[in-house]
Amino acid sequence: MGKLVVTEFISLDGVIEDPGGAEQYRHGGWTFKFNQGEGGPYKGAELRAADAQLLGRVTYEAFAKAWPTMEGTGEFGEKMNAMPKFVVSTTLENPEWNNSTVLRGGDGLAEEVNALKQQFDGDILVAGSARLAQSLLANDLVDELHLMVFPIVLGGGKRLFADGDEATTLSLVDTKQTGDVVILTYRR
């Protein structure tokens, strides 16, 4: 049985919006201000452990625009392009990125995610995808959180944990400092 892993670049105040600078957020690209140390190899290992990706439409479309042009750029790019990808969307009809399937989500999200967990043995990786990550957390579908915490307070933007969520206790299972970043791993 696979496990659902939400992985995020996150500020000290919980913002996960536009860490790479592609979304026109006023603080977009905020991760590039810091030494990420071994963050790249960590992300590579995270992807190698994954059998599939589960993405929200906005993140999926950004990835689908970038990654197919990176074919032949090494193991990370090859894995991103080859692995099964599931995009939760009510508007996307014909995903063009290799090995992509649309899930409708909504009231059926829990059933769809549980079916994916049965289908795969490795991790099902959720990167970015703020609204999807919030829905998965609210429905108690996340098995593990990988948070790369950056030493910045952004003061506003999409946050991983939505206001009004119920109190949830997590178990810290790993912590690593690399460069300016702290990588925290939590389990439900």
> What is the 3-state secondary structure of the chain?
CCEEEEEEEEECCCECCCCCCCCCCCCCCHHHHCCCCCHHHHHHHHHHCEEEEEEEHHHHHHHHHHHHHHCCCCHHHHHHHHCCEEEECCCCCCCCCCCEEEECCHHHHHHHHHHHHHHCCCEEEEECCHHHHHHHHHCCCCCEEEEEEECCCCCCCCECCCCCCCCCCCEEEEEEEECCEEEEEEEC
CA–CA separation, 95 and 181 (whole Å): 34
Average pLDDT, integer, range 69-86: 84
Structurally, how many domains does the chain consist of? Answer: 1
CA–CA separation, 82 and 3 (whole Å): 20
Q: Which pLDDT band holds residue 76 (cuts at 50, 70, 90)?
A: confident
Q: For residue 60, what pLDDT is reported?
A: 93
Q: Which pLDDT band holds residue 71 (cuts at 50, 70, 90)?
A: low
Q: CATH number of the domain that 151 lies in?
A: 3.40.430.10
Q: The domain containing residue 152 runs over which residues?
A: 3-187
